[in-house]
A and B are shown apart, each in its own frame.
Chain A
Amino acid sequence: MKGVLLSGGTGSRLRPITHTGPKQLVPVANKPVLEYAIEDLKEAGITEIGVILGNKGREEIQELLGDGSKYEVDITYIVQGNPLGLAHAAGCAQDFVGDDDFVMYLGDNILKSGVTELVESFEAGDYGAGIALQEVENPQAFGIADVDDQGNVTELIEKPDEPPTNLALIGMYVFSPAVFDAIDDLEPSWRGELEITDAIQALLEDDYEIDSHVVTGWWKDTGKPEDILEANRLVLEDTELNTAGVVEDGAETNGRIGLADSAVIKDGAVVRGPVSIAENTTVKSGTYIGPYTSIGANSTLEGIHIENSVVIGDSEITANGRIVDSLLGRKANVESAENHLPEGRRLVVGENSQLKL
């Protein structure tokens, strides 16, 4: 079994954060989203991973993952270039996959339960493909699978008016090499892409059995800022957090706090977990960091009240105010406007930024 990890896309819904990097490298609980996928694949016993690169962030992704040795996996890079669809991405991986089965994992997704059960379910039978499903409350808004009593998929329907089930496709798949013949026969859809659901439908029509696995834990597509915050909350709730750094006397801490060994919570600061604070970050007196917040590396916080937020890193946040439900990009600084005249907020805001003042 091999892994194919999709790391393309423009990240347009995450702008301005993705103006300067790929969406798969946005951190959740101070770890790039893509690393969760690598760990999930490895946990499922998959150590040969093909990473599909699009037009954006190729160098950054290769710099992070390298040859995979730091994760104890072997990585091959596959440059898809134009975003011609998930089935095109899978097709680009054919030489890498060879005659093996493979998991296809969307690199901007995070699953609580990983992919081990999906793989085991697929390997327990003789399937052309396996798909991960999750129960949703509004199936009309998703690609929906109909399944029989054995859990075999009988039909895929895109955004049905009258959904036969509430089981939505969540973008995790296992394929046999038979999918490559199906992809060869595909035509681009109305949007000019080779659709993976069309490839699965073709396997069904060729009488391959398609396994389904219903994911019961949480699953997040981290495509939008609010999704990053939600994923950060979910991961901080579930992750073991170690306080390796310095908590000075006079600092007040409650709950679970992940504190890197070079990070410091100073006298007079208050931190209430779950919180993650990365390397070389200093939380100074008068600062309050509230639950579900991740502060990236090389940052300084002083006097600010911040909660349910993600600070990616290299930031100076020294205003005397409250920041909630926010995503701050790398090297974003927030300073006080006190003592500046005329009174008012002073902003240098990039394209696609969103401010609620």
Chain B
Amino acid sequence: MRIITHTCPACGTIVAANELEDNRVMKCPGLDCQEVLHFEDLPENAREHFLENRDRYQI
């Protein structure tokens, strides 16, 4: 299963795509980081893959 992540450009915290997709727009979960992360920050092919296989990233 392809595991997709995104790295916050401000603090380096790595966030799994399922977390980004759940929130779409979210404050970076890094403590005291003010960066706003978007699901759209992921490359287009990663977003497409995730959305096509969305059920597999849910528990």
Contacts and interface: CB of A to CB of B under 8 A. Distances in A.
A258 interface: no
Contacts of A187: 1
B59 A82 contact: yes
Contacts of B59: 82-84, 192-193
Contacts of B14: 50, 76-79, 92-93, 95-96
Interface stretch (A58-66, A126-134, A264-272, A330-338): A58-66
Interface in B1-59: 1-3, 5, 7, 12-16, 18-19, 22, 29-31, 56-59
Given A77-B14, A79-B13, A183 B19 contact: no
Interface string A197-220: 000000000000000000000000
Nearest to A81: B19
A88 B29 contact: no
B16 A59 contact: no
Contacts of B58: 82, 192
A44 interface: no
B53 to A, nearest CB: 10
A92 B3 contact: yes
Interface string A89-105: 00111111000000000
A186 interface: yes
Contacts of A92: 3, 5, 14, 16
Given A183-B1, A183-B3, A78 B13 contact: yes
A315 interface: no
Nearest to B2: A184
B13 A76 contact: yes
A5 interface: no
Contacts of A95: 5, 7, 14
Interface in A163-196: 183-184, 186-188, 192-194
Contact of A82 (B5, B29, B31, B57): B57
A161 to B, nearest CB: 29
Contacts of A81: 15-16, 18-19, 22
B1 A53 contact: no
B34 to A, nearest CB: 15
A102 to B, nearest CB: 14
For B3, B31, B59, which residue has the most chain A Cβ atoms within 10 angstroms? B3
Contacts of B57: 82, 84
A79 B12 contact: no
A76 B59 CA distance: 25
A154 to B, nearest CB: 26
Contacts of B18: 81-82, 84
A95 B22 CA distance: 21
A340 B31 CA distance: 47
A93 B7 CA distance: 11
Contact of A58 (B1, B29, B56): B29
A282 interface: no
A80 interface: yes
A100 B20 CA distance: 26
Contacts of B15: 78-79, 81
Given A63-B31, A83-B59, 9 more contacts: A62-B31, A78-B13, A78-B16, A81-B15, A81-B16, A81-B19, A92-B5, A96-B14, A187-B1
26 contacts: A63-B31, A76-B14, A77-B13, A77-B14, A79-B29, A81-B15, A81-B16, A81-B18, A81-B22, A82-B22, A88-B3, A88-B16, A92-B5, A92-B16, A94-B3, A95-B5, A95-B14, A96-B14, A183-B1, A184-B1, A184-B2, A186-B1, A187-B1, A188-B56, A192-B59, A193-B59
Interface of B: 1-3, 5, 7, 12-16, 18-19, 22, 29-31, 56-59
